[in-house]
Structures are given as C-alpha cells and as structure tokens.
Amino acid sequence: MTYLTISMGGKQPIVRPSNYQINPVTSQLLTQNSQPVAAELTEILPKIKQQTKVPILLPSQLLITGTDNQIYVDGKGTNNSYEITLAFEKDCTANACSIGYISGEKGGKPLDDEFSRELSLVQDIKGYFRPLTCGASCAPPIIGWEYQGVFYRISLKGVGQSPEIEGDTLKKMANSAIEAGAR
C-alpha cells in the first residue's frame, strides 16, 4: 500500500494510505474497503494473509450477544484455505469454550446435511443456513456461501435466541463480508 504524508505546518504530519477518502458525515478515514474489519479480527488478519492465497472475507462486526467475556482469536491458513477461530479461553480445544469460526476454502462445497435451508445474500448469492442444533452437545448456527470459487462459512454461538434471529444475524455478517470484499 502506498502512503501519503500530509504536512500540517509545524504540527505532527498525518500519514494516510494514498487511496484514502474521508466520510463527510462521520469524518472517518475510508480506504478501498469502506467497511471496517470487525475489531476482534484485526490482529489476526495480517497472519492469515501471509499464510493463504484465498481471498479473505470478514464481517465488519461480530454480532455476538450475551457475553462480556474477552474473546480470544486464533487462525491458520494454507494455500487453499483459512480458518479463524474464536473462543472464551486462550488455546481452547473444547466445545464449552469455543465461540465458533470463520473460514474460506477454495473449491469447497457444502457438506452433506450441513445446512437445513437456503437463503438469499447480497449480489444474488445463494446462501445456506442451519440454526443451533443440539444432541450430545450443541453445534452453533452456521451460514455458508460460494463466492468466486471459494466456499465461505461463519459459525458462531450467541447470535440469537431463535432460528429466525440466528439466520438474520449471520446473514448480516455474511452480507457485510461480501460487500467489503477481500481484506
């Protein structure tokens, strides 16, 4: 990225990306991706970008409710995929402390019986959804979609108290990720 330095006549210079724009309503700095990355995901993004060639789609907000706990984020990437995990505990490997994940897989497809219904996303993209399901343990709600040859998933606990709210919330996150484009 190219940076532009703006001198302020003896004051500290302002350094901004050369493709910057200022939102006239909020005075916030905008770049190519005018939607911000969810704050919880900003630190892991550079690591994942170095590890994968897959376009990384991330929501502008994590719409998780009912917790004031710290969220720990980790992730990994390969040439053809990435996965970002979220948890209530550092180095979590159990369902009880896991919040969920965000992933993308080049050439990926929905698994058999992974989703229970279809829904429409922005740009006329077909999405797939399954609400919270419980058996011996509970699987968080999940949304998935294929975009430019990559299958993306967002699966998170705490996104709603009913299947309708879970679907609407995950749909908002998926739409914001698609609209923002590759990070």
The domain locations on the chain are 1-32, 34-180
Predicted local confidence at residue 148, as pLDDT: 96
Report how far residue 109's alpha carbon sits from residue 141's, in angstroms, rounded to the nearest whole number.
17
Return left, alpha or beta for 123; rule: phi > 0 is left, psi -120 to 50 is alpha, else beta: left
Q: What parts of the chain have a pLDDT lower than 50? A: 1-32
Q: Tens digits of per-residue pLDDT, 27-36?
A: 444 444 567 8
Report how far residue 12's alpha carbon sits from residue 85's, in angstroms, rounded to the nearest whole number.
39
| Half-sphere CA count of 176, side-chain side, radius 13 A | 18
Report how far residue 128's alpha carbon sits from residue 150's, in angstroms, rounded to the nearest whole number.
14
Q: Tens digits of per-residue pLDDT, 72-102?
A: 999 999 999 999 999 999 989 888 899 999 9
Tell me the two tokens of residue 46.
């550079």
